[in-house]
């Protein structure tokens, strides 16, 4: 989970900016109220980060950045869209306010994604990329860095950091955010904010202020086309897909929901003779992704009413002891079955041994099987508890170890090369001394 927080951030230029990371509903409402109170003369900059934002399907919004200067300080809001979910629609009042100017680099993509995901019709936009292309005789911009460099506002390492984020966009979906990811988000949106007056001044210089206002009107009309495309996709049910299609397919098969990417859905429990789980008809909504549908179904089952429906169905599987016995008989061999990696506590299998003068009861084995004896004598559940680390931490540790090994190999290679060079120099030095001695001896003989 990502926690909401605020801090003072120092930019590469030395300017200080107040940053708010908005990751919960209450902090979101406070940020929205402040944005709604901005004066019309205030210019804001906005950007969206995520995975596959330029694709028609499979886009995942992860972060929204908003920067503005209130006359005293530079401020930056980072909205964690992954955690806020549908609550991000509270930003509709600000994003649809045509009286507050919003400087956006790739405004067409942003307009389509916001309309498709949240039904927001983006208004009051100054399209930075379109202004760059107009001022450069139609030369397209490959990204935000081109606009920043042309305006002289790109930080020294902005190009390398932007390339890294483009190659690994999944960094935007990691929670909590990495420090480098947050630094890049703050630096990029504040750098974009500083290019606003440069682009506007150059537009007015090239064609006059009236020409600049005509550009704003024309770019807003193009954005309306992108928004209409997003609304059409939203009405047709093509909502924003998740970034993990394999998990969606698994959830679809598990809950018998319509499959994703052609994955077949499994029959319900009632079709196989089992009890059908209690899921209210209003639990799963039309247009839900498999992950959302499975979450709604699980919550509905946990909140099912008592009384007529009774308690939840519990497992009627035989005990592990009887199951091992039946499995051994079915296999027709006396060898102990393979022990599973996760087992109940040892107390489950501890029995009082029969007395010497008491015959065994009917259906009871005289001795424990090899597997049961091993469980009773040697099982230690503490070893199965794990160390509490997440997969990300384990993978990061493995990558660091691998990097250390590669570094050590590089050091050994350098040492071997240095040894070869030193030995070569020694051999050349010996040969040179021998030549000098031979030359000296020849000179004395002559």
93 in any annotated domain = yes
Q: Is the pLDDT of residue 93 over 80?
A: yes
In a domain, 65, yes or no: yes
CA distance from start to end of the chain: 91
Same domain membership, residue 47 and residue 13: yes
**What's phi and psi for 60, nearest 5 deg?**
-130, 110
Is residue 184 located within the same domain as residue 267? no
pLDDT digits (tens, 9 = 90+) for 276-321: 444 455 567 766 666 677 667 766 766 555 444 444 444 445 466 6
Final residue of a structural domain among 213, 235, 257: 235
Q: What is the mean pLDDT of residues 75-97?
A: 95
Q: Quick one: 281 and 175 in the same domain? A: no
Question: Angle, nearest 10°, between helix axes 370-378 and 320-331?
Answer: 150
Of the residues 235, 261, 286, the one at which a domain ends: 235
Residues 285, 207 within the same domain = no
pLDDT score of 233: 87
- Which of the pair, 375 or 428, is modelled with greater confidence? 428
Please report the pLDDT score of residue 54 as a whole number: 81
Residue 358 lies in a domain: no
Among the candidates 198, 213, 235, a domain finishes at: 235
CATH number of residue 200's parent domain: 3.30.420.10
Residues 6 or more apart in contact with residue 222 via CB below 8 angstroms = 108, 127, 130
3 state DSSP class of 391: helix
Judge whether 186 lies within some domain: yes
348-387 pLDDT, tens digit per residue, is 444 455 555 555 555 444 444 554 554 455 444 444 445 5
Query: For residue 90, is pLDDT > 60?
Result: yes
Q: What is the pLDDT of residue 348?
A: 47
CA distances in angstroms from 384 to 224, 319, 341, 343, 388, listed in the order given? 57, 21, 8, 9, 11
Q: Are residues 218 and 249 in the same domain?
A: no
Helix (H, G, I), strand (E, B) or coil at 47: strand
Q: 191 and 87, same structural domain?
A: yes
Structural domain including 211 reads 5-235
Residue 265: pLDDT band (50, 70, 90) is very low
pLDDT computed for residue 163 by the predictor: 92
Q: Answer yes or no: do 65 and 24 share one domain.
A: yes
Q: What total of structural domains would you count in the chain?
A: 2
Same domain, 288 and 216: no
Q: Which DSSP string do the residues of 285-346 spell out, in sequence order?
A: PTT--HHHHHHHHHHHHHT---SSS-SPP---PPPHHHHHHHHHHHHT--SPPPPPSS---G
Shared-domain flag, residues 53 and 136:
yes
Closest CA to 383 of 348, 349, 345: 345
The reported pTM is 0.56
When pLDDT is cut at 50, 70 and 90, the band that residue 338 belongs to is low
Question: Is residue 307 domain-resident?
Answer: no
Residue 122 has pLDDT above 50, yes or no: yes
In a domain, 191, yes or no: yes
Greater confidence (240 vs 101) lies with: 101
The lowest-confidence range among 120-134, 254-268, 414-428 is: 254-268
Say if strands 74-80 and 5-10 run parallel, antiparallel, or are unpaired: unpaired
**Model confidence at 177: pLDDT above 90:** yes
Is residue 303 included in any domain, yes or no? no
Per the model's pLDDT, the better-predicted residue between 181 and 419 turns out to be 181
Residue 176 in tokens:
């909590």
Do 54 and 78 share a domain, yes or no? Answer: yes
Residues 164 and 256 placed together within one structural domain of the fold: no
pLDDT (mean) for 155-180: 92
66 pLDDT band, cuts 50/70/90, is very high
Same domain assignment for residues 179 and 223: yes
- φ/ψ bin of 137: left (φ > 0), alpha (ψ from -120 to 50), beta (otherwise): left
User: Per-residue pLDDT averaged across 250-266, rounded?
Assistant: 48
Does 401 fall in a domain? Answer: no
Mean pLDDT of the chain: 77
Please give the pLDDT value at position 297.
Answer: 74
In this predicted structure, which of 139-153, 257-271, 340-354 has the lowest mean pLDDT? 257-271
């Amino acid at each position: 989970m990502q926690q909401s927080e605020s801090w003072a951030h120092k930019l590469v230029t030395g300017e200080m900016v107040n940053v708010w990371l908005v990751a919960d509903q209450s902090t979101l409402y406070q940020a929205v109220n402040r944005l709604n109170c901005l004066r019309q003369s205030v210019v804001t900059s906005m950007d969206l980060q995520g995975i596959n934002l330029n694709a028609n399907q499979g886009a995942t919004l992860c972060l929204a950045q908003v920067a503005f200067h209130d006359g005293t300080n530079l401020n930056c809001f980072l909205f964690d869209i992954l955690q806020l979910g549908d609550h991000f629609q509270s930003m509709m009042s600000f994003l649809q306010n045509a009286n507050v100017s919003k400087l956006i680099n790739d405004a067409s993509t942003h307009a389509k994604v916001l309309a498709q995901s949240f039904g927001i019709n983006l208004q009051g936009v100054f399209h930075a990329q379109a202004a760059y292309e107009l001022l450069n005789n139609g030369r397209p911009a490959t990204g935000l860095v081109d606009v920043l460099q042309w305006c002289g506002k790109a930080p020294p390492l902005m190009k390398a950091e932007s390339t890294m984020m483009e190659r690994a966009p999944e960094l935007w979906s990691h929670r909590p955010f990495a420090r480098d990811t947050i630094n890049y988000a703050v630096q990029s949106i504040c750098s974009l904010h500083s290019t606003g007056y440069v682009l506007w001044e150059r537009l007015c210089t090239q064609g006059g202020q009236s020409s600049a206002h005509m550009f704003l009107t024309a770019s807003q009309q193009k954005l309306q086309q992108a928004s209409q495309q997003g609304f059409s996709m939203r009405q047709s049910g093509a909502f924003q897909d998740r970034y993990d299609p394999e998990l969606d397919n698994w959830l679809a098969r598990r809950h018998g929901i319509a499959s994703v990417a052609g994955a077949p859905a499994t029959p319900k429990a009632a079709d196989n003779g089992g009890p059908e789980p209690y899921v209210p008809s209003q639990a799963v909504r039309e247009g839900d992704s498999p992950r959302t549908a499975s979450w709604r179904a699980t919550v509905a089952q946990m909140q099912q009413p008592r009384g007529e429906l009774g308690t939840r169905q519990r497992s009627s599987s035989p005990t592990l002891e009887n199951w091992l016995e039946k499995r051994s008989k079915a296999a027709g061999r006396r060898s102990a079955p393979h022990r599973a990696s996760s087992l109940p506590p040892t107390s489950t299998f501890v029995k009082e041994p029969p007395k010497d003068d008491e015959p065994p009861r009917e259906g009871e084995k005289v001795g424990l099987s090899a597997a049961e004896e091993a469980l009773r004598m040697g099982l230690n559940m503490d070893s199965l508890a794990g160390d509490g680390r997440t997969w990300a931490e384990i993978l990061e540790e493995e990558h660091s170890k691998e990097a250390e090994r590669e570094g050590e190999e590089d050091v050994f290679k350098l040492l071997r090369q240095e040894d070869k060079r030193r030995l070569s120099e020694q051999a050349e030095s010996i040969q040179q001394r021998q030549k000098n001695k031979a030359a000296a001896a020849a000179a004395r003989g002559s």
